[in-house]
Amino acid sequence: MAKTIYTCFPQGKAKALTMSYDDGKTADIRLLDIFNKNGIKGTFNLNYGIMTTEDETQVQHPRIKSDRINELYKGHEIATHTLTHPTVARSPLTRVAAEISEDRKGLEELTGRIIRGHAYPNGSYSEDIKQLLKDLGIAYARVVETDPSFSLPADPYEWKATCHHKDPKLMEYAHFFADFNKRQYLKLMYVWGHSYEFINDDNWNVIEEFCDFMGGRDDIWYATNIEIIDYMEAAKNLRFSYNCDKVYNPSADTVWLSLDNKDIVEVKGGETINI
């Protein structure tokens, strides 16, 4: 019987990387190319209500049109960002409910996906809005405040990224994360931003350098926001015997465990195994 049993990320990994970018501007096209080239997965938070109505001649950074969404974001997560990008904490809760639910409905009809993620527009939220998201079937929401502790979210409805890509310590964090090898911890690096900022700041090299350095590593799980949320939920729902010599996985998703820091076991959905 194992003395130490730890939850792992898929394939027994102890580190994960996720990215999150807002607003669905056309600069996402170049960003997606960088992600795909390096095997990095991202979550893209879109405003269904203005992606097709925005006048491209009146804005500096136009939005990607609805007929290109499925093609461009293939392999990445699409999440809600409200229908029209209001500062929701200043809005009536009934209006907030419409902004979120109509955004979700439109994105689901457009993509054929089940949309369950969110990023708060303008970083605006409240406790009432957090509860509203739960009631509307949203599984998590990202805030704009950051926390460079590389930890999983204590509150998925107030999920703090590690840093914005403009953080001057971005590559310092990346090197620390890449070199971190204490497998008794699960560590997550989470970077967020807006792709049009690379145009404004003329610094695409920042994200190119980061993704080139972080991509293609065997010890990192590259995941979307919702994949992390769903995986950790499946891990939490594992059912262990009193002596922890057996484990049952009631979910459909496979979960990986580390035994005594040396053996990695796979617990498939619906399976009971001896440890």
Q: What is the token pair recorded at 145?
A: 């405040």
Residue 258: inside a domain: no
Tens-place pLDDT, residues 14-42: 999 999 999 999 999 999 999 999 999 99
Residue 34: inside a domain: yes
Q: Residue 98: helix, strand or coil by DSSP? A: helix
CATH for 40: 3.20.20.370
Cβ-Cβ contacts under 8 Å for 223 (sequence gap 6 or more): 9, 16, 17, 18, 41, 231
Across 148-164, average pLDDT: 98
Residue 161: inside a domain: yes
Q: Could you tell me the pLDDT band of residue 254, with boundaries at 50, 70 and 90? A: very high
Q: What is the token pair recorded at 261?
A: 């820091």
Note whether 225 and 77 are within 8 A (CB).
yes
pLDDT, position 54: 60
Q: CA–CA separation, 77 vs 217, rounded Å? A: 21
Residue 158: inside a domain: yes
Residue 22: inside a domain: yes
Q: CA–CA separation, 65 vs 117, rounded Å? A: 20
Residue 103: inside a domain: yes
Q: Could you tell me the pLDDT band of residue 3, with boundaries at 50, 70 and 90? A: confident
Tens-place pLDDT, residues 230-239: 999 999 999 9
Residue 73: inside a domain: yes
Q: CA–CA separation, 99 vs 95, rounded Å? A: 6
Residue 240: inside a domain: no
Q: How many CB atoms lie within 10 A of CB 92?
A: 9
Helix 170-179 vs helix 204-214: angle between axes, to the nearest 10 degrees?
Answer: 0
Nearest to 223 by CA among 49, 72, 66, 13: 13
Tens-place pLDDT, residues 114-142: 999 999 999 999 999 999 999 999 999 99
Q: CA–CA separation, 210 vs 31, rounded Å? A: 12
**By residue range, what is the domain housing residue 87?**
14-226
pTM (2 decimals)? 0.96
**Percent above pLDDT 70 for the chain:** 97
pLDDT, position 261: 85
User: Whats the size of the chain, residue-wise?
Assistant: 275
Q: What is the count of structural domains for the chain?
A: 1
